[in-house]
């Protein structure tokens, strides 16, 4: 079992560029989440999904978009990257009340 897989692990973007962070899970979980983690700031929820075709905003959704066409995949799209989006991004799926996290994607916007 791979669990939750995130790609890429590292990425440097220039201001104004766009990119997609990929997330896939093989546990057949309906609920999936995207968080960002800034130093000393804990985890902030960006978007979440309760199943294929259903997504909703979290605490900090501005500058991001998501889609959920399958149970397995939950990509996060960054449009017009800004330095404020420099962070570590974690994807998670939920099973039995427990969050299972990927290893994170470190994004730097210069």
Partner 1 sequence: QKEVEQDPGPLSVPEGAIVSLNCTYSNSAFQYFMWYRQYSRKGPELLMYTYSSGNKEDGRFTAQVDKSSKYISLFIRDSQPSDSATYLCAMGKGAGSYQLTFGKGTKLSVIP
Q: Rounded to the nearest whole angstrom, what is the least distance from the CB of residue 42 to partner 1 in the complex?
A: 4
Q: Rounded to the nearest whole angstrom, what is the least distance from the CB of residue 15 to partner 1 in the complex?
A: 25
Residue closer to partner 1 (CB basis): 56 or 79: 56
Q: How many CB atoms lie within 10 A of CB 103?
A: 14
Q: What does the binding site for partner 1 look like in residue numbers (CB under 8 A)?
A: 4, 31, 33, 40-43, 45, 48, 50, 56, 58, 90, 92, 94, 97-99, 101-104
Q: Rounded to the nearest whole angstrom, what is the least distance from the CB of residue 34 to partner 1 in the complex?
A: 11
SS3 71: coil
Rg (CA), the chain: 13
Distance CA 1, CA 14 (A): 35
């Amino acid at each position: 079992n791979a669990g939750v897989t995130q790609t890429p692990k590292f990425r440097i973007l220039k201001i104004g560029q766009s990119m997609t962070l990929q997330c896939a899970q093989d546990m057949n979980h309906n609920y999936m989440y995207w968080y960002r983690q800034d130093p000393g700031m804990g985890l902030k929820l960006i978007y979440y999904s309760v199943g294929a075709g259903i997504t909703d905003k979290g605490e900090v959704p501005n500058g991001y978009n998501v889609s959920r066409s399958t149970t397995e995949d939950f990509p996060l799209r960054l449009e017009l990257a800004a330095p404020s989006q420099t962070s570590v991004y974690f994807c998670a799926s939920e099973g039995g009340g427990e969050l299972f996290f990927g290893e994170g994607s470190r994004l730097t916007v210069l």
